[in-house]
Structure 1
Amino acid sequence: MASRSDARSAASGPGAGPSRVEVHGVGVHYGDVVALRGVSLDARPGDFVAITGHSGAGKTTLINAIAGIVPLASGEVRLGGQGEGPDPSSVAIIPQGNGLASVLTAYENVVAPLRARGHSPEQAGERATDALVSVGLGESGSHLVEELSGGQQQRAAVARGLAIGGAVLLADEPTSELDHDNRERILALLRAQADAGSIVIMTTHDPEAAERADRVIELDDGEVVDH
């Protein structure tokens, strides 16, 4: 398993630094469908937050709202120190379904967003290699995505998010395709990312994975469940 220093090194770079996620009364609509209704949460550097709920409860929509991917029908999202609304350079996303380009290798999928964010070829290559090693894909970086198993693809997506680093890491069901050992590896890396000063917000339907977070927020039909 990767050491905490692996994740700490991944947390540095452009966009990294103290921040704060503030979600106030957020609502999101898809046509007549209300996906989120009055959702609020607050997370500070070092927090590892799990968002749980049944399929369709609004977990992915909440991640996308924090990232600024979907328009808000109501409420607001703020990242502390960045003014109103998300700053894309301070947010890294591990999307559900991995979001990898099948025509690229695992390594190229990790390097590409680093180059787009201004890293030199040498820096991007080093960070990509370190991130792939940390998720157990050190020997698979040269493989095309379509040559990887579902679990390997998911770990490559995690490696990309870790390599990007930043103040906020949004992970949408990052362990859903993984066996027990690799699930533990990824959860440890997310924990280490938070310990290094990032805000980590993870959606999951796995109660055991949620227990690894500092705090659990449950959604039901787009609303926060009060316990």
Structure 2
Amino acid sequence: MTVPDHVARPGAAPAVACTGLVVRFGATTALDGVDLVVRPGELVAVTGHSGAGKSTLLSVVAGIVTPDAGEVLVDGRRVGGVVAAGVAEAVAAGVALIPQGNGLAAMLTARENVLVPLLARGVAAAHAPARADAALDAVGLGEVFSHLVEELSGGQQQRVAVARALALDCRVLLADEPTSELDHTNREVVLRLLRARASQGAAVVMATHDPEAAAAADRVVHLDDGVLTTP
């Protein structure tokens, strides 16, 4: 039987390998011995109630949060250390994050919010504008690319954040509640784009509390007070 392109091959080397991750914030244990492997071409949904540790898990993989124990490997490359070093390591390993809350620069236009990260990652100035415009077109924002962030609705801002990550064309795409501000039509658009990235060989990890979004994934794992299980 032919395996569909969007399903990860079992023998593929992991794109993301988390082993024994423990993260504590004071007396609160956000992650408690989390093991997770995500392979190229796989879309994995991480579900769980608010405060279960979903955002923390993605932040550890992105190098933003340093675990108290355990390690993260991205394409066999360790991500960790102090926060600044961890972020640099994650970027070098090919990780992009769609953060909860979007993380857009309010003083920039939609286009500039997508363009600046491309230039920062070394994309040639001759090619970066076309990539930024294509990503904004893909999320249906081609007509508002010159608008400042504050002029956009919450859903439009979320789609700019999605476009920013997609334009980077990274090997690992982390999406933290990427559909929370979207109506049904735009939610379907974003989910199709995440699926397309997986089909192109990226490992995609999506934190979500939306059952319909989770149903679009190849695999669902569940976090409950920092403990990861498979439903």
TM-score, normalization by structure 1: 0.89
Instruction: Name the counterpart of 2:162.
Output: 158
Instruction: Name the counterpart of 1:126.
Output: 130
The residue correspondences of 1:185-196 to structure 2 (distance < 5 A) are 185-196=189-200
Q: In structure 1, what is the Cα distance between the partners aligned to 2:73 and 2:15?
A: 8
Q: Does 1:149 align with 2:153?
A: yes
Instruction: Name the counterpart of 1:8.
Output: none
Of 70, 79, 82, which aligns to 2:77? 82
SS at match of 2:96: strand
The residue correspondences of 1:62-211 to structure 2 (distance < 5 A) are 62-83=57-78, 85=80, 86-89=89-92, 90-211=94-215
Q: In structure 2, what is the Cα distance between the partners aligned to 1:79 and 1:21?
A: 5
Question: C-alpha offsets along residues 175-207 of structure 1, whole Å, 9 cap, x if unaligned?
Answer: 000000000000000000000000000000000
Paired letter, 1:68? G
Q: In structure 2, what is the Cα distance between the partners aligned to 1:50 and 1:139?
A: 31
Paired letter, 1:178? L
Paired letter, 2:27? D
Instruction: Name the counterpart of 1:5.
Output: none
Unaligned runs of 5+ in 2: 1-12, 81-88
Give structure 1 regions of 4+ aligned residues with deviation exceeding 3 angstroms. 83-87
SS at match of 1:121: coil
Paired letter, 1:87? A
Contact preservation (8 Å) 2:173, 2:205:
yes
* Aligned-CA RMSD value: 1.3
Identity percentage of aligned residues: 59
Shift in Å at residue 19 of structure 1?
6.1
TM-score, normalization by structure 2: 0.88
Greater relative contact order (Cα < 8 A, sep 6+): 1
Contact preservation (8 Å) 1:36, 1:58:
yes
Worse overlay, 117-126 or 158-167 = 117-126
Contact preservation (8 Å) 1:19, 1:167:
no
Shift in Å at residue 138 of structure 1?
0.4
Shift in Å at residue 225 of structure 1?
3.0
Shift in Å at residue 88 of structure 1?
1.5
The residue correspondences of 1:17-56 to structure 2 (distance < 5 A) are 20-56=15-51
Paired letter, 1:146? E
